[in-house]
């Protein structure tokens, strides 16, 4: 059986816009063709990504480490 369905890739998974009717675990062959996003779809993607890390508590440590590395690198360069 052959059918064409639209979906969105999320890592190694594809979220289809509709049900296939196939039972879970069915083997399938996937042929992919990227489709262009219209302006509205691009806007939705940007809105979804903006602020995605806003509430991530690990960022404080990450940026502190980046700042330490920058300060260390600047100190190294100034001694030359």
The DSSP H or E segment spanning 44 is: helix 39-49
Q: pLDDT of 49-65, one tens digit each?
A: 888 888 888 888 999 99
Cα–chain-centroid distance for residue 17? 18
Cα–Cα–Cα angle for 20, 29, 31, rounded to 5 degrees: 95
Task: Enter the pTM of the model.
Answer: 0.42
Q: For residue 35, what pLDDT is reported?
A: 85
The residues spanned by each domain of the chain are 38-80
Residues of the chain with pLDDT under 50: none
């Amino acid at each position: 059986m052959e059918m064409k369905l639209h979906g969105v890739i999320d890592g190694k998974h594809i979220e289809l816009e509709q049900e296939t009717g196939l039972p879970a675990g069915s083997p399938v062959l996937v042929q992919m063709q990227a489709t262009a996003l219209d302006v509205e779809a691009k806007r939705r993607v940007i809105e979804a990504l903006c602020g995605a890390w806003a509430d991530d508590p690990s960022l404080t440590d990450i940026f502190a480490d980046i700042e330490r590395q920058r300060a260390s690198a600047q100190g190294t360069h100034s001694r030359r």
